[in-house]
Amino acid sequence: MPRYVFHVRTRHRLERDKEGGLFTSADAAHVTAIMAARDMAAQDQLSGTLDLEKRIEICDEGDRCVATVWLTTVAGL
Closest CA relative to residue 11, chosen from 71, 76, 66, 74: 71
* Confidence bin at 74 (pLDDT 50/70/90): confident
Q: How far apart are CA 70 and CA 53, in angstroms?
A: 7
* CA torsion, ordered 74, 17, 9, 52, to nearest 10 deg: 30
pTM attached to this predicted model = 0.90
- The pLDDT tens digits of the residues spanning 20-66 come to 999 999 999 999 999 999 999 999 999 998 888 999 999 999 999 99
Measured in Å, how far apart are the chain's first and last C-alpha atoms? Answer: 34
Please check the confidence at residue 75 and state whether its pLDDT lies above 80.
Answer: no
58 SS3 class: strand
